[in-house]
Structure 1
Amino acid sequence: MMLKYGDPGYMEQDRSLMLYSITFSFLAASICMVVLRIYCQWYLLRSRRITLSGILIVISLFVDIASCILIHFQIHTGMGKHIEYSRARPAMLKASMKIGLAQNTCYQALIGLVKMSILAQFYQFAQPGLQRRVVAWVGGFVCIFMLFTVFAAIFQCIPMKAAWDLQNFPRGCWNMMNVNFFTSSMNTFLDLVIFLLPITTIYRLPTTFRKKLTLALAYSMGLLALACSAIRVRNIVFFNGEGDFTYVACMVPVWGAIECNAGIICASFPSLLPLITRTPHPPPNPSIRLSSTLASSGPHQPHRESKVLTTKTDAAPPLSTWEA
């Protein structure tokens, strides 16, 4: 129940535990997914090839950890409690405003990195020609938009110290509610575009319907990120930027964290398909010859020379077959 200032128990209302549990539960899930993704690539598929998508998702994870740590400090400095609690502690409120600026900057960078990682995956299996050009164009736009949002978050006030000046704020600052609404709405639109982008590509892949369906279901995890982005926009619209923002708007950065972690999970889930299907993989040493296997079956087996045939593709690790 939403109490009003002066009501018994008003100052004791605290959402900290809920904010902690949601934020760090999703962070733990993201860490597990990225670790499993690396395990599947390096140990199940025996692929040591470093991809742009893999690099971006690892960078995203580190930025995600930094963002969640900043959310921890936001909670520690009053987020989740009523604004009157913070106003009675000016030094803490000032620290909270500084941390809020840093966390928003991390969020803007993180959401762009996650999108580019997913687009890098799409580019790998997109057919040459128009499909790859469309993915590249969308990726270029996402990169430019990410740079814009990061600089907008950093330089929302001129000079920067005006962002935590308790006496003059928001003088010298942009209307950050309008900026956040624009950037969040655009991110929601881009999430929708990225969700729809691989449909035609997956449909045209030269593989079985079952594999196409499995891949489509894997990427449908992106609906979670899309839903979180839409809810974050709703929270920004509901909160008009004034009043009890440390309590009423405390879920805005948390929904951003959920959105980013859902994106990391979505980007990593297709790479976990070998773990789910448990498909056989080539032996660690492709130079092992068939003659070794034949010799182990009995002493009277004749020695036969063998040749190693190796086929490599861009989308999969080396596959070795043996021919006597």
Structure 2
Amino acid sequence: MAGVQPESTLVCAGVFTGLAIIFSTLRLYSRIFIVRAVRVDDILLGVAVMCSMALTVLIIFQAYNGLGVHQDTLSNDEVFNFLKGLYGGSIVYSIGMLFTQTTFLFQYRNFFIGKWLRRSTDAMIVIVTLEGIATTLAVAFQCLPVGTQSIWNPYAPPAKCINYVAFWFFSALFNVFSSLIIWALPLPLIKSLQLPKRQKRWLLLVFALGFFTCLASGLRIRGLYISVQHAENDTSFYYTAAATWSSLEINVGIICSCLPTIKPIVDRVFPELLREPTRPVPPLGGVDHSVRRNGAGVLLANNCVPLTDKSLGTSAESSSVPTPKRQIEDV
């Protein structure tokens, strides 16, 4: 995937960032106007969306300054600007991944109940937060003295910098494993949930898409490996794959975190989509368990006889308890 065209990178970044904005807007609408409860994970997601938008802007800036073009054909100003965009994009990516993963984890704390899952989720929140802060600071201050131009200017005086090859691979591997753990945490609980079939399929679809986030993290490592091999002489040409998968990783994570929360909107717009179809229950023992309305519009079971109020000399229909019905099976 070394030869990914910059146009493909821009299309992927633009389309998936747009989808992330749409789904996050639907989520916010659902939480504010339907559920009427905005939680911590909604705020975290808002920061993740802003990071996604910033990353897309920086990818466009890189494309304008030589992304996907051989570095020896670029002017010095284009090389400097491209590397500045790469530097800024790396910082934004680190922050975006931190808030995307913590969105999932805080969402688990709201959706699922269980001592084991709660403790595991809390532990992952601490681990992901500490790693995200450490990664962001390491990227921002990767060279000393702080603010040195050697990060984006190959001709600047040499500075003392971290081993960015080892650092990037460690960070990328951490994202892969943390994404896998976050994806797998609630699976045992979901498997045991007694949910209607359609709702269970909805959750399984969400987690199937969530696995794509893990896949994007893995493919991003391959893109980084190709980019690092040519870091000294042709980063601009070989960074397209890493830029593409970085954008996909964050945006797909944002979209997946929104899917469970937009169910109230789906229920309103498509009321039959997630509702289990039911079939009529046949009478038991020859007794008709269907219902009818009386003159006042009150539902009565057909097998219920109106009670006679002798003290008033009138016949009054009251609520009778019909014979228990058998449980309706899921279709």
Q: TM-score band, normalised by the shorter chain? A: 0.7 to 0.9
Query: Residue 20 and residue 210 in structure 1: after superposition, are their counterparts in 2 closer, same or farther (change >3 A)?
Result: closer
Q: Which amino acid aligns with 1:48?
A: R
Q: Which of 54, 69, 72 is 1:81 aligned to?
A: 69
State the distance in 2 between where 1:119 and 1:152 align: 24
Residue 65 of structure 1 corresponds to 53
Residue 95 of structure 2 corresponds to 109
The question of 1:254 aligning with 2:244 is answered yes
Q: Which of 111, 120, 126 is 1:140 aligned to?
A: 126
- Once the two structures are superposed, residues 176-207 of structure 1 have per-residue CA deviations (whole angstroms, 9 ceiling, x without a partner) of 12211110011001111011001123234454
Query: Cα distance, 1:98 vs. partner?
Result: 1.7
Query: Residue 156 and residue 273 in structure 1: after superposition, are their counterparts in 2 closer, same or farther (change >3 A)?
Result: same
State the distance in 2 between where 1:119 and 1:265 align: 15
Indicate conservation of the 8 Å contact 2:9/2:243, yes or no. no
Indicate conservation of the 8 Å contact 1:83/1:245, yes or no. yes
CA RMSD of aligned residues (A): 2.4
| SS of match in other structure, 1:220 | helix
Q: Which runs of 5+ in 1 are unaligned?
A: 3-12, 281-296, 298-324
Residue 31 of structure 2 corresponds to 41
Q: Which of 107, 112, 117 is 1:126 aligned to?
A: 112
| SS of match in other structure, 2:35 | coil
The question of 1:231 aligning with 2:236 is answered no
Query: Cα distance, 1:169 vs. partner?
Result: 7.2
Q: Which runs of 5+ in 2 are unaligned?
A: 273-296, 298-331
Residue 304 of structure 1 corresponds to none
Q: Which of 9, 22, 39 is 1:19 aligned to?
A: 9
Q: Which amino acid aligns with 2:23?
A: M
- Once the two structures are superposed, residues 10-53 of structure 1 have per-residue CA deviations (whole angstroms, 9 ceiling, x without a partner) of xxx9933222111101111111111122233334xx22211111
The question of 1:183 aligning with 2:135 is answered no
State the distance in 2 between where 1:14 and 1:224 align: 20
Query: Residue 170 and residue 205 in structure 1: after superposition, are their counterparts in 2 closer, same or farther (change >3 A)?
Result: farther
Indicate conservation of the 8 Å contact 2:117/2:186, yes or no. no
Indicate conservation of the 8 Å contact 1:19/1:80, yes or no. no
State the distance in 2 between where 1:217 and 1:24 align: 24
Residue 54 of structure 1 corresponds to 42
Matches within 5 A, 1:213-232: 213-232=201-220
Q: Which of 257, 260, 264 is 1:267 aligned to?
A: 257
Q: Which amino acid aligns with 1:220?
A: A
Residue 21 of structure 2 corresponds to 31
Q: Which amino acid aligns with 2:191?
A: Y
Q: Which amino acid aligns with 1:56?
A: L
Indicate conservation of the 8 Å contact 2:4/2:240, yes or no. no
Query: Cα distance, 1:210 vs. partner?
Result: 4.5
% identity of equivalent residues: 24
Whichever of the two has the greater Rg, that structure is 2
State the distance in 1 between where 2:207 and 2:221 align: 23
Query: Residue 66 and residue 169 in structure 1: after superposition, are their counterparts in 2 closer, same or farther (change >3 A)?
Result: farther
Between 247-256 and 25-34, report the one with greater CA deviation: 247-256
Query: Residue 215 and residue 175 in structure 1: after superposition, are their counterparts in 2 closer, same or farther (change >3 A)?
Result: same
Indicate conservation of the 8 Å contact 1:78/1:96, yes or no. yes
Query: Residue 163 and residue 79 in structure 1: after superposition, are their counterparts in 2 closer, same or farther (change >3 A)?
Result: same
State the distance in 2 between where 1:274 and 1:47 align: 8
- Once the two structures are superposed, residues 45-102 of structure 1 have per-residue CA deviations (whole angstroms, 9 ceiling, x without a partner) of x22211111111111111111111111111111111111122xx11221122222111
Query: Cα distance, 1:214 vs. partner?
Result: 2.5
Q: Which of 212, 216, 219 is 2:200 aligned to?
A: 212
Residue 142 of structure 2 corresponds to 156
Residue 308 of structure 1 corresponds to none
State the distance in 2 between where 1:77 and 1:170 align: 24
Query: Residue 248 and residue 169 in structure 1: after superposition, are their counterparts in 2 closer, same or farther (change >3 A)?
Result: farther
Indicate conservation of the 8 Å contact 2:180/2:214, yes or no. yes
Q: Which amino acid aligns with 1:38?
A: L
